[in-house]
A = this chain, B = another copy of it.
């Protein structure tokens, strides 16, 4: 059986994804939520039916990269351009307020820590994880609507800000190992410029040999190579892989291959990889033994993280003349934190900037934010619809 453990894991995950999604839909919740909670229940935290493994982690990594690539392909660039100013304001609000709220909440709950620890915790809260929001917005057919586009735009910007801030802080801690801020920023700008160049070349090749790529799944395989290479290249340049995949998706969405590529990639992604990603979030949680002190810390910090994002991003949206309704939707849509927050927290733990207790609270925050967001977002859109009708 050992040899086929990965296959058994796959079977359980596909089952969990379907059952969880089905129950969530029945309860009028997005299927993503059902898949995450399903993973939490089937995983080591509760039933222990399936454990995290390198294979499942890699498969889910492919899932989130494809998900972001598709989200990029489906982005309406004209809409994004016209929402560029709004996205920037939302991102800035969503970076500054959670940073202040997070650092302050940690100071209130655990006074006397190193100053750097407060700052670093604030930074952990900056980067929004749009994958949950993307899926929820898709379920509600609002991926291309005004709030949806602003959320995605803002999430790209706050990821970049978060990455720059992390580089600054870790650079301060280990001046030898850390890269210079200017160099990091140059690499990020370099990535976006080169990615546009690559997209142009890819488009030209497809266009020139359209007949060749229309046969034998070649378009799909070319798109997968393009998407994966973009993700790898982004990571190499210091930009998160999923941001790279999303961005090249956006660039490619301006070509007339957009719909065909999106359609082909979705077939493969949604069949296997994307459900694995969401179930894996639940599986990967490995809850440590709880103490009341830790519970209070975790809930306090989570509240600061979520409320800070709603207020900050919502305020940015209001400044951009969104309605109250839309500002709340945008604030809620920016709440989830996942991969980037965990990666940053893990780095801080390894470098000794934050302690184990705070790291655990980040896991709780990631979990709660991904569970709460789809419910809250769905509620906010539902109320919006009722008002429209009234």
Whether B272 lies near A7 (C-beta < 8 A) is no
Question: For the complex, what is the distance from the CA of A55 to the CA of B17, rounded to whole Å?
Answer: 22
Minimum C-beta distance from A202 to chain B (A): 13
What are 8 A-B contacts defined by CB distance under 8 Å?
A4-B235, A6-B58, A7-B61, A7-B241, A8-B232, A10-B62, A11-B229, A224-B272
With A58-B55, A236-B1 already in contact, the answer to whether A228 and B268 are too (CB < 8 A) is no
Identify A54's interface contact among B54, B217, B268, CB under 8 A: B54
Whether A11 lies near B225 (C-beta < 8 A) is yes
Q: Mark A222-248, 1 if CB is under 8 A from B, else 0.
A: 001100110110011000010000000
Question: For the complex, what is the distance from the CA of A65 to the CA of B77, rounded to whole Å?
Answer: 41
Question: For the complex, what is the distance from the CA of A4 to the CA of B227, rounded to whole Å?
Answer: 13
Query: Chain B residues near A15 (CB, 8 Å)?
Result: 225
Question: For the complex, what is the distance from the CA of A61 to the CA of B55, rounded to whole Å?
Answer: 12
With A54-B54, A217-B270, A267-B267 already in contact, the answer to whether A232 and B4 are too (CB < 8 A) is yes
Interface residues of A in 265-304 (CB under 8 A from B): 267-268, 270-272, 275
Whether B218 lies near A18 (C-beta < 8 A) is yes
Query: Chain B residues near A10 (CB, 8 Å)?
Result: 62, 224, 228
Instruction: Give 8 nearest A-B pairs by CB, closest first.
Output: A6-B58, A11-B228, A4-B232, A7-B228, A268-B271, A55-B58, A14-B221, A11-B225
Whether A217 lies near B271 (C-beta < 8 A) is yes
Question: For the complex, what is the distance from the CA of A19 to the CA of B127, rounded to whole Å?
Answer: 40
Whether A232 lies near B272 (C-beta < 8 A) is no
Residue A311 interfacial (CB < 8 Å) = no
Question: Which residue from chain B places its CB closest to the CB of A8 in the assembled complex?
Answer: B232
Question: Which residue from chain B places its CB closest to the CB of A1 in the assembled complex?
Answer: B236
Whether B55 lies near A3 (C-beta < 8 A) is no
Minimum C-beta distance from A254 to chain B (A): 23
Minimum C-beta distance from A277 to chain B (A): 14
Question: For the complex, what is the distance from the CA of A115 to the CA of B6, rounded to whole Å?
Answer: 39
Residue A220 interfacial (CB < 8 Å) = yes
Q: Given A7-B231, A10-B224, A11-B225, 8 more contacts at CB 8 Å? A: A1-B235, A7-B232, A10-B62, A11-B228, A11-B229, A11-B232, A15-B225, A220-B271
Query: Chain B residues near A18 (CB, 8 Å)?
Result: 218, 221
Whether A268 lies near B268 (C-beta < 8 A) is yes
Whether B224 lies near A14 (C-beta < 8 A) is yes
Question: For the complex, what is the distance from the CA of A18 to the CA of B218, rounded to whole Å?
Answer: 8
Query: Chain B residues near A275 (CB, 8 Å)?
Result: 221
Question: For the complex, what is the distance from the CA of A10 to the CA of B6, rounded to whole Å?
Answer: 18
Question: Which residue from chain B places its CB closest to the CB of A12 in the assembled complex?
Answer: B225
Q: Mark A1-45, 1 if CB is under 8 A from B, else 0.
A: 101101110110011011000000000000000000000000000
Query: Chain B residues near A220 (CB, 8 Å)?
Result: 271
Minimum C-beta distance from A240 to chain B (A): 11
Minimum C-beta distance from A216 to chain B (A): 8
Max chain B Cβ within 10 angstroms of own Cβ: one of A8, A62, A231 = A62
